[in-house]
Every structure is written in structure tokens, then in C-alpha cells.
Structure 1
């Protein structure tokens, strides 16, 4: 797929996928559930075609709830599980109250997942490669945009769709206290009218 074709496909799909995933996260959090492992591999795309539709409809759904937990439970097994590239900066800390998955860490993970859709993979890949120490430090820095820009193709993709980057930025505030909740993020998305 050429870069232009990829960009056009992204423009067609991003807003709908973001809406589905943010709405799904809002639903989970309203039910008190922390997913704890949001990443592209745990998103199922349902592509529906119908003769009356001008093009296929793509819907995104969460799968693999094996790491999930209820927030208000006293689950002693809750830990900083998940996939490093998609974990929030606070989850790299040693204090249990910070490293335990939370609504805020789910929001971060979704922000990274959406950013990965734009840049074509982990935003840390160009800077860290397979070096886990560097990856951990990069995640702790809380600057996935800066690391993504180290890849010239990713930087070009990011520059071409600033509205989508702004959507990701809502969930990617390093300070978890300043990070939006899923319902606030959903309100922001609706107010922006990103092709919904």
C-alpha cells in the first residue's frame, strides 16, 4: 500500500475506530472494569458489507479481558500487567498504588493504540528497537510523540493528520491526574466532529 493510499484509508477509518474504542472504554469504566491490556492486538475489527452500503462498515471491539479487573474489588492479584509499549508511565514505577492498572492507565493505553494506528506501529520502535531498558525509560518519560517523531515516516504521517494527533493527545498526558476520563474524551471527540 502506498503512503498516499494508507493516509486516505486512515482518514476514512480513524474517526469511526476512535469513536468505537472510546465509547467501549467509557462503557467498561462505567461498569467499573479496568481492561489493563489495551493494545492493537486486543482490538477486533468487524467489517460488515451490505449491498445497500456505499462501502464496508468497520467497527472496533475490545477482546481479551484476561488481565481485566473490577476497580472497586480488593483483588490482590491485580498487578502492573499489560504490554510495555502500551503501558502508562506510572505503571513503570515500583509503588503498587501507581503501577496497578487503573481507568487512567486504560486511557493512556488507548491513546497509544490510536497513535500506533497513525504511525504504523509502536511510537517507541525507532528509538528503542528491542532494548527493554530503553523502552522502559522512554515510557517513563511520558513523551510518545517525541519518540514517534524520531522515525521520519512516522513524523510525516503525524504531520499529515494533526486532528487525529490531537485526539490521541487527549489520552496521553503524562500526569495521570491531568489525563481525561473516557467520558470526557468521548465528549471531546463528539465536539470535534472528526468525520463522525
Structure 2
């Protein structure tokens, strides 16, 4: 894998890849996310796809700057040139796209592509934070707190990461929401202890070792990696197969972790609910587009030259050690500047700590404490199935924001019947 460190401390990865589909996994304010197969792992890609000279046509074309629009895939690294021609037909293998079979046999990447020129700035800043995190020493013995990062594509300005099949938000709304009580309670009680422990440990490492505040923790920014590799592969496969067409706005359905787990057991269970006790996954933080550093940057080092794996080592041989945060005794050195949040990337209202909702100049800055608060709201949503502010707000945005500013999320969650029952079951609210 060809990775170099840029002058501004970003891992840049020039490895080629082929997109698997024109339908995005997801669309955000600054990016769209697509699946791809790195060139080293294109064992099942058709000859036509591998030898493509031009990127696949898209319904709306490319912008003049080469950045993808919200519903358009990023340019394929297997080719360079402007898109054109008629839109591709559904269910047909397109030039420049990897075949679905490659998902089963090769490593799958998620390509987070900027949607415009402003978004490119946001994504490069995110790549800088991730390069710092993945270069840091000492790393945990098994650094499983963050979605593996493979660098920034210098050609398209896209982030390259491991592809994972679902978010915690998908699990809450696609799996837990379909279960009847007490099955839902059984599954929540099963996954909650390890999920809470792992996410808290990861957040502690992020704050105290890497010196980074995430600033946008929520269920959709926590990806789940199923413990069974076959489940991961099957779910990625189904996400691709769910795209019925390449029409503008096409999306990929989130498959059920329960059903995929049941299928992986080779018919040992007859329904998804019977697979409850077999559901297991590792939660990983993702989306550092709003993140900020708590202390001056340390040098970022590239993976060691002897590493031939497609995944950069998380503890590079020449990685920099932690920055000493002890104040300097020198009378000539000035104190480090306070971190400032991104002027264009920000957090999400329901997860904002009350102190971040103040109107002030300069605006309040996210802190490790506000990250912990956001994670607490995330746990509440897992327990109750919805935001703690839903029941009382009743769709009134002004009321909702005043509730968020009040900071009493547990009390608000308990005002709704299901929330009150969940709190009595899992939390000591006496």
C-alpha cells in the first residue's frame, strides 16, 4: 500500500480502487459514502471493470471541480476523465465498478467523498485528525476503538476506511425496533455491558492519549463490526443488492443484523428472534469531521516501509509518542492556544451538552465532558429506542431546544411510558 505523509501531516494513500456500485451507503452534509475494492484485492472483479478507461456514467454527471454531488459516486481510482453518456441501466455490471462477488472474497473499503469544494476542507481536516490518532503511541494493545483508517485519496480528496455494514442507529431502528418485549429487553441487556465498556474505554483513550475531542458522538457515528466475519460480508453484499437502480437518490437498505446472524448459523435457527443470543459485535467510533485537538499536534509518521498488508499498522514503528501536556516553565514560551471548533462542521442538537447551547462570543468549545454527555444520550437512545426529548417536544423545535438546554435528559426520557419502563429496568433512577 502506497502511503506517504503530506506536508500538513495527512496520510495520503495512492492505492487504486474500484467502486462497487453507484448508490451511496449514506449521504451527509459534507460527504457521500461508497463501497470500493482496493486494487490488491480485486480477485473477483471482471476484466471489463478492471480495464475500464473511463469512469462510469452517472445520472447527473460530475461538477467542474471533479467533486461528486450528493447522489453521485466519487471518481474511480481505476480511471481518470470526465463522466458522460447515458445513465447506466439497473442490474448491469458497469465499467469501472467491481462485481458483487468481489465483496465476498476481497477486502472492502468505504470511500467518504466530499460533496463540494468546501467539504474537501472538512474532510482533509478529518484526515489530519485520523492520521494523528493512528500514528499515536502508546496505542492500546488491541486498538479496536475506531474504524480503521487507510489515508486520504489525494486524487479525489476522499477518506479511505474499512467498510462496516451498519451503525448503532441502524441496530436501534432496524433490529431492536422490530422486536417485541421482552425480546428487545433481552437483546439490549445482552449487548449493553460490553458496548458501554468498550465505548467508554475508547473515549478515555481518545481524550487522554490522543488528546482529541470527537465533538459529534451519536448512534449514527458509531459503526458496528459483527464478531462473525461471514455476517459482515453477507450484510455488505445485501446492501449492494438492495439497490434496485442507479436513479438519482437511490439508496442502499440497511440489512438486519439479527437475520444475517441467523443466516450465518446455517439454518440452526428458524427465525431472527431465535438468533438473539448469538448477536455479537464491536462498536467503533467514526466521523471525526467536527473533532478538535486538545493540545499541540505531534508529528505524524507513515506506516513502516516493511508493511505489505493493505491495512496501515496502527502503531507505526517510528510513530511519535504522546505530547507532554505539562505547562512549560520557560518565561519566553507562550501558552498554547485554546482549541477552536470547526467553523463549518458542528455537533448534533439532541446530543449537545447544555453548556454548548449558550449564545456567547466566542462560542463555547466542545470538551471531553461534552463528549461524555453525548455518549450518555446515545446510551439512553439505545435503552428507550428514541431521543429522550421526543415525547415532550412533540415536534416543536423551539421546545426541543429549550429541553436540550435544560440538560435533564433522563427525566425527559422518563416522561414517556416506554422510556420510563426502560429506565426502571436498566437504570437506578430512585
Q: Distance in 2 between matches of 1:76 and 1:34?
A: 11
- Name segments (4+ residues, structure 1) moved above 4 Å: 73-77
CA RMSD in angstroms comes to: 2.3
Are residue 120 (structure 1) and residue 385 (structure 2) matched? yes
Counterpart selection for 1:11 from 189, 204, 219:
189
The 5 Å alignment of 1:97-136 reads 99-136=364-401
Counterpart selection for 1:147 from 412, 415, 421:
412
Counterpart selection for 1:23 from 192, 197, 201:
201
Paired residue total = 163
Are residue 62 (structure 1) and residue 302 (structure 2) matched? no
Q: TM-score scaled to structure 2, two decimals?
A: 0.36
Q: Distance in 2 between matches of 1:78 and 1:72?
A: 15
If asked which structure has higher relative contact order (CA below 8 Å, sep 6+), I would say 1
How far residue 97 of structure 1 moved from its aligned partner, in angstroms, is 6.3
Are residue 157 (structure 1) and residue 422 (structure 2) matched? yes
What's the secondary structure of 1:122's corresponding residue? Answer: coil
Are residue 38 (structure 1) and residue 217 (structure 2) matched? yes
Q: Distance in 2 between matches of 1:148 and 1:3?
A: 18
| Cα offsets for 1:97-133 (capped at 9, x unmatched) | 6721111100100011111111111110111133221
Q: Which runs of 5 or more structure 2 residues have no equivalent in the other structure? A: 1-178, 230-263, 265-276, 297-336
Distance 1:111 1:98, change over 3 A: farther
Q: Distance in 1 between matches of 2:340 and 2:351?
A: 23
Distance 1:97 1:18, change over 3 A: farther
How far residue 96 of structure 1 moved from its aligned partner, in angstroms, is 4.9
What's the secondary structure of 1:3's corresponding residue? Answer: coil
Q: Distance in 2 between matches of 1:10 and 1:18?
A: 11
**Alignment check: 8 A CA contact 2:393 2:399 kept:** yes
Q: Which runs of 5 or more structure 1 residues have no equivalent in the other structure? A: 167-196
Which structure has the highest helix share of the two?
1
